[in-house]
Structure 1
Amino acid sequence: MERELALEIVRVTELAALASAPWMGRGDKNSADGAATSAMREMFDSVSVKGTVVIGEGEMDEAPMLYIGEQVGSMNGPEVDVAVDPLEGTDIVARGLNNALSVIAVAGKGQLLHAPDMYMEKLAYGPSLVGHLSITDPMEATLKKAAEVLKKKVSDLTVMILDRTRHESLIKVLRKVGVRIKFLSDGDVAGAMAPAFPEAGIDLYVGSGGAPEGVLAAAALKCLGGELQGRLMPADASEYERCIRMGIKDPYRVLTMEDMVGKEDVIFAATGVTPGEFLGGVRYMPDERAETHSIVMRAKTRTIRFVKSLHYLPNKPLLNYPQPQPAIANHADMQE
């Protein structure tokens, strides 16, 4: 892939973030997601690729745009797989919380795993722990190994996990061992990336989250030199059969980085919608301007770029600026 593609991709995540940011704190996650998705889809038309969405907003009959199998890009350029999450953290934006991102990963055709929409067990960590850990080990053994490699006491480790009832037994183990726990309300991609940023102060990311988000996080960690191991968690026979139909012959096997993002180059870009562990959120400035904070990375070179941009909103026709006043969210949306 051409290196210029990295900067083209970050322009797409910037626009999606700018489109969803006005919905921050309004209790309407569907409108926030719809705005991000629509902006991302339209902006992709300017990107010089022949792209196929392998991770998107659902199947063709479930999603009006950015569905799995949709063709994106200008159709002039390399053939690529595209994984998107226009708004990773819809509830985060609706509730005005941290760590919402607009995310894209791009790799050569056939490189990205077609991950089914189900839970995936995950173990993510930074470069220092690559090659030392296994998701098949008991958590106590994993923590002990991590502490030894990092030359820390187990009690000095900080582990991030989504705050979910399904993690109760795992949290009990973490408490028993005595590590520090940092709970995450939402934002699975940002959480899995956090151990690769020393300033985040996170040693491991554990627990289960969405499988599509696992592939996006694996793409980011490949660029960062970290690692994510995953294992799908089909809830029933229908989910198991869906894995088979999507080409995953053994749904319960451990998925490595190579399984999820291939051996070749990967480009990853993310723009913060709300402030998070390593990116600031969209910030509105005087004179109809808005500031965005993005990260764009390429696995081949391991170059990491933090991009701070100042946008003049009236010159963004795809945003339909000034944007209409959001409608009052219904009670059901606010309760989710």
Structure 2
Amino acid sequence: MQRQNETATRTGGDIHTLEAVALAATRAAAVASYAWVGRHDQKAADAAATAAMREALAGAPGRGTVVIGEGEKDDAPMLFNGEVVGTGNGPDFDIAVDPLEGTSFCARDLPGALATIAFGAPGSFWSPGPGFYMDKIVVPPRAKDVIDLDDPPERTLAKVAQALGKQVGELRVVIMDKPRHKELIARVARAGAAVQTPAGGDVGGSLAVLLPTLDVDLLIGVGGTPEGVMTAAAVRALGGGMLGRLAPQRPEEAEAIRAAGMSLDRVYDCDELVGGDAFFVATGVSGGPLAGRPRESDGTTIAESLLISRGEIRHITHTTFDKISG
């Protein structure tokens, strides 16, 4: 609480007054990248989302600093770490961002692509430095006190099932379909749980765990650190449980982490990943159960968003007069 009071004083205002700014930024990114849905050009879709989001954030009241951006690990277009946006006439705020989460879904016209962003009071977001990947686990509020990243998956399943009042065979688990997860997927399946294996999109998978309307109980596995910090903003806002640990995927990444004086063994909980007041926003790009894709109707463009803030999930429909261009 002391840290939140300090950051509130530094910002000179309530971070939640910027929710409309974040919604406008993800909406702009979603509409811009939707023009590339199904065109099999991930870089072009990512570039369109990034440019539109950067333009939307340029007019934000206040001074926003990108603490954790997306793109460095795969040489993609990005809002870069340390980039400053906004007019300066308002509160300071920090940003964690992925303008297009699920670029492959967008390129292949598969459900799950989202434009995502999190805003926090200054100093709220943990920075992973040169660490691009992290091992993570996300659970609903009732299971937040039983998780341990050092547990084998079978024990994790048993503990989460007990906390949720279920049998292991009733659990539904999200694990991204990556070569690094081959053994993990096999072990979870052998233990009796149902496994969803999307090709990417661990932010979307984590949101599915948090939303009571979706039948998902747990997300585990290695994903991106930007996605991890944004996920933590949503988890913290809703009282869920999350743990993360840096998990470099290449020797040079591990060496860079060590050179930065960071530990490869330390486990961070949700309140360490996001240590101050924050909120999370996502807007649908290629559709799916979280948010529909942008669409045109009677001369207007309609987009669907999720705002996760202060213990609430709000489903928001934006209607504007700008057009989707292809």
TM-score (norm 1): 0.87
Identity of aligned residues (%): 40
- Asked if residue 149 in structure 1 is aligned to residue 160 in structure 2, the reply is no
- Asked if residue 96 in structure 1 is aligned to residue 109 in structure 2, the reply is yes
Counterpart residue identity of residue 90, structure 2 = G
Q: Quick one: distance in 2 between partners of 1:99 and 1:37? A: 18
- 5+ residue gaps, structure 2: 1-13
Q: Quick one: distance in 1 between partners of 2:43 and 2:286? A: 16
Deviation of 1:245 after TM superposition, in Å, equals: 5.6
| Partner residue in 1 for 2:3 | none
Q: Quick one: distance in 1 between partners of 2:301 and 2:259? A: 44
What's the RMSD between the two structures over aligned residues?
1.8
Deviations 1:121-176 (A, max 9, x none): 11111111111211111111111111111111111111111111211111111121
Deviation of 1:3 after TM superposition, in Å, equals: 2.5
Kept in 2, the 8 Å contact 1:6–1:297? The answer is no
Q: Quick one: distance in 1 between partners of 2:254 and 2:174? A: 28
Kept in 2, the 8 Å contact 1:97–1:274? The answer is yes
Counterpart residue identity of residue 189, structure 1 = V
TM-score (norm 2): 0.90
Kept in 1, the 8 Å contact 2:139–2:240? The answer is yes
Q: Quick one: distance in 1 between partners of 2:121 and 2:274? A: 9
Superposition pairs for residues 248-267 of structure 1, below 5 Å? 249-262=262-275, 264-267=276-279
| Partner residue in 1 for 2:321 | 312
Q: Quick one: distance in 2 between partners of 1:237 and 1:293? A: 40
Deviation of 1:65 after TM superposition, in Å, equals: 5.3
Report how many residues are paired: 310
Regions of 4+ moved over 6 Å? none
- Asked if residue 51 in structure 1 is aligned to residue 64 in structure 2, the reply is yes
Counterpart residue identity of residue 46, structure 1 = G
Q: Quick one: distance in 2 between partners of 1:120 and 1:292? A: 31
Deviation of 1:16 after TM superposition, in Å, equals: 0.6
| Partner residue in 2 for 1:136 | 150
| Partner residue in 2 for 1:38 | 51
Deviations 1:20-44 (A, max 9, x none): 0011001111111111000000110
Q: Quick one: distance in 1 between partners of 2:114 and 2:294? A: 10
- Asked if residue 291 in structure 1 is aligned to residue 313 in structure 2, the reply is no
Counterpart residue identity of residue 321, structure 2 = Y
Q: Quick one: distance in 2 between partners of 1:63 and 1:139? A: 33
Q: Quick one: distance in 2 between partners of 1:16 and 1:63? A: 15
| Partner residue in 2 for 1:214 | 228
Q: Quick one: distance in 1 between partners of 2:262 and 2:121? A: 22
Q: Quick one: distance in 2 between partners of 1:218 and 1:44? A: 22
Deviation of 1:217 after TM superposition, in Å, equals: 0.8
- 5+ residue gaps, structure 1: 315-320, 326-336
| Partner residue in 2 for 1:331 | none
